[in-house]
Structures are given as C-alpha cells and as structure tokens.
Structure 1
Amino acid sequence: MMAQLEKAVFAGGCFWCMVQPFDTKPGIHSVVSGYTGGHVENPTYRQVTSGKTGHTEAVEITYDSEKITYRELVEIYWKQTDPTDAGGQFADRGDSYRPVIFYKTQEEKAEAEASKKALQDSGRFTDPVVTAIEEAKPFYPAEDYHQDFYKKESAHYKRYSIGSGRASFISSHWQED
C-alpha cells in the first residue's frame, strides 16, 4: 500500500527548535525548516530576520496520514510553544518568530480551531491562547545550514533551547498528566 503523504506547516519561534519534536515521531517522512507568509520569493535568513519580508520561520512536515493524523501533529505543535505569546517565542521576538498554524484545507482549519478552543477551555493557561491560524502561503526551504540543526549542531542546539527559555517553559507547562 502506498503511503498517503501530506504536508503541514507550523511556526513556533526559532525553526531549529521545531524540527526534532516532529522528526522523531512515527509516520513523519521529513521536517524542513523554512519561511512562509511573506511577499518576497525565496527569501534568505538575513532578509527574513530583517523583518522586511513578512515571512515567519516555520517547519514543513511531510507525513503519512495513515500513520499520524493532522490532529496529532497539532497536539505535538502546541507542546513546543507558548500559545499565549503572539509577539514571538521565548527569546526570539518579532513577527518572524510568531506562532502560527498554517492550514491548507477547511478541514485542517476546523481541526486547528477546535484544538485551539479545547486548549483555551482546558484552563492550562490563565492568559488567552493567541496562536494565529492562517491559510498556508508558499513555503521556502531555509539555507542548508539550518536543516536538521539539532542533529548537525547538537551542543549548540541544546544550549540555545535552554538559554532561550524554551526548554524550561515546555518542562513546566507541558508535562504529561
């Protein structure tokens, strides 16, 4: 039987930290760091971080929908972010680091909205859940040195995850029940 490969795009701050949580799950074929949502074709990291292209750092996940569902991807996504912070994520500030779930179909939009509402209603956070849910725009892969950063530069990746505040936030807010 042929795999049912689909793509999902999520932004949750620095894309380095968004790869590993998805990359290690069964049914994931690839996780690519890149940029989406802006008005410049094939932007560079320098252009995106200047804040002048309108892009957000994101990951594009290619997955087998027979092995992992879009809903499961959204649940993994929430646990990598601070969904109450629209101004960036952790130490990374500005629009290029804002949290966004990008949908391609109305079904994905409905799944994301229902999941966001459930998270808000759960009482896990006292502040409102402000993660944006937006229609997917063209996705541009980032430069090669950004791909699989957690594997290629594991010590740097770990220092960054801890130093940015991401690791402690995830540990304190997303511990499994």
Structure 2
Amino acid sequence: MRKYRKRWIAVIVLLLLAVFLVPEGYAYLTQRSGGSEAVTEEDIPEGYETAVFAGGCFWCMEPPFEKLKGVKEAVSGYTGGHTETPTYKEVSAGDTGHVEAVQVYYDPDVLSYSDLLEVFIRQVDPTDAGGQFVDRGSSYTTGIFYKSEDQRKKAEAFLASQQDSGRFTEEIVTPIQEAGAFYRAEEYHQDYYKKNKLRYEYYRGNSGRDDYLEKTWGEDRDVDLPYKAEP
C-alpha cells in the first residue's frame, strides 16, 4: 500500500510541475479547441490601423503592446503559412509554415507605426533565425508583416538603422514580408498573461527573454510612449 501511495504522490508532483514548467503543453492538453479563425476586415475596430509582428511565443508579445495608450487590442494568432485555420498543434509542429504572431489594432492619432516598431524590437532577438529564446523552431521565428507600402518602407529603414546602431553584434535576420491571412488563435491563448498570471510569469521568467533584453537594452529598454493606467 505504501509503495502505491508513493507512486501516486510522484505522479501528482510531476503533473503539478508540468503545469508550471510546460505551460503551452498544459494549455493544449486541457483546453483543446477546433482551431483558429480567420480575421476579416470587419473584425478590425473602426478608426484603428493594423500592425502584425512575430516575436516568438505570442503570450509574451501581447503585453508590451496592450499596455500602450492607443492600442485597442493585440490578438494572438498565426500567419505566414500555407494552410487555412491551423490549430496550435499543427503550427507548433512546423507543418503549416505559420509563425506565432500578434495583430495589433492601434489608433494612428495616438501612436505611429514607427512607435510600434520601437516597441517590437525591444521584445525580441532579431539575430536569431532558429526561434526565440527557449522556444525553438520555425513557428517561433521573428517577422514584420507589412499592411501597406508605407509600413514596408518604414520597417526596412528601421531594421537598417538598428543594424547600423552597433547594438547587435550579429546580423539582423528578421524578415519583412507582405501580410497575408491572419488566423486568430484558440481562445485560451488570448490574453494568457491575464488569465493565467502565475503560469505566464513562471514561463516568461525562465524563458531567457528578459535576461537577453535587459543585457541588450539596459536603460533603453522602455520606450518613451504614453501608457495606460495600471488596473
């Protein structure tokens, strides 16, 4: 009896560790859904413009944009692939060609696209072609997906200036591509940092992202932009 009890205790401990050590796996196993949904023009809030960025795990890319005044929402989703309505499992397996990304709805009277580029670059390692931090694989690579020629020109000039700045010792490999279909990820991924605060903070704190950003940017890590009041 004692032997079985020890085994059950070990199983419970492993499950509890999985909740915190593998948050995305936990979410997939416990909250599966049928897949993603295509975002249409009708889904974009009136008066707002759209910017699309890939920076590895989309859980970590929502907060930096959503805390800005002028941002309505940062939607986690999938883009850049060759299949329709992909699931998280398919994307993370690398079968669809998609990357995890966020679609940001912003008020151009409050924020500019150039402002958003400044925020984006401070969330990622643009020299890593194999993923981002602890997350490896093609679905976690960086990218800027432009919605207009003006965005394309600004993104190209911005990355060129960052390369020339001397801040990055290796070549910037973040691609700039025309935005295609964007699929809203399963609902449990949306605002994950709010819905699952402890798991998110544990995951992020052990991902290596903040260590890299602090080392790379130091006192320049925060952008001088208007922020929403803390709730």
Q: Is 1:138 aligned with 2:138?
A: no
How many angstroms does 1:175 deviate by? 2.1
Distance 1:124 1:42 in 2: 38
* 2:153 matches 1:113: no
Q: Which letter does structure 2 place at the counterpart of 1:70?
A: Y
> What does residue 47 of structure 2 align with?
4
- TM-score of the aligned structures, taking structure 1 as reference length: 0.96
SS of 1:51 mapped into structure 2:
coil
The reply to whether residue 29 of structure 1 matches residue 57 of structure 2 is no
Match of 2:131 in 1: 88
| Distance (whole Å) between structure 2 residues aligned to residue 77 and residue 9 of structure 1 | 10
Q: Which amino acid in the other structure matches residue 52 of structure 1?
A: D
Equivalent residues in 2 for 1:49-60, closer than 5 Å: 49-60=92-103
Structure 1 residue runs of 5 or longer lacking an equivalent are none
2-side partners of 1:4 and 1:122: how far apart? 34
TM-score (norm 2): 0.74
Query: SS of the counterpart of 1:174?
Result: helix
Give the equivalent residue in structure 2 for 1:127. 170
Aligned residue in 2 for 1:173? 216
How far did 1:4 drift? Answer: 3.2
Kept in 2, the 8 Å contact 1:100–1:131? The answer is yes
Return structure 1 stretches of 4+ with deviation > 3 angstroms: none
Aligned length: 175
Inter-partner Cα distance in structure 1 for 2:142 and 2:219 = 22
Q: Is the 8 A contact 1:116 1:129 kept in 2?
A: yes
Alpha-carbon RMSD across the aligned residues, in angstroms, is 1.0
The structure with the largest alpha-carbon Rg is 2
Q: CA deviation at 1:141?
A: 0.4
1:40 and 2:66 aligned: no
Q: Name whichever structure is richer in strand by fraction.
A: 1
The residue that corresponds to 1:147 in the other structure is 190
Q: Tell me if structure 2 keeps the 8 A contact 1:4–1:66.
A: no
Shift of 1:54: 0.6
Q: Percent sequence identity over matched residues? A: 53
Any idea what the Cα deviations from partners look like across 1:89-113, whole Å, max 9, x if unmatched?
0011111011000001111011001
How far did residue 58 of structure 1 move?
A: 0.2
When you count helix as a share of all residues, which structure comes out higher?
Answer: 2
Distance 2:52 2:200 in 1: 21
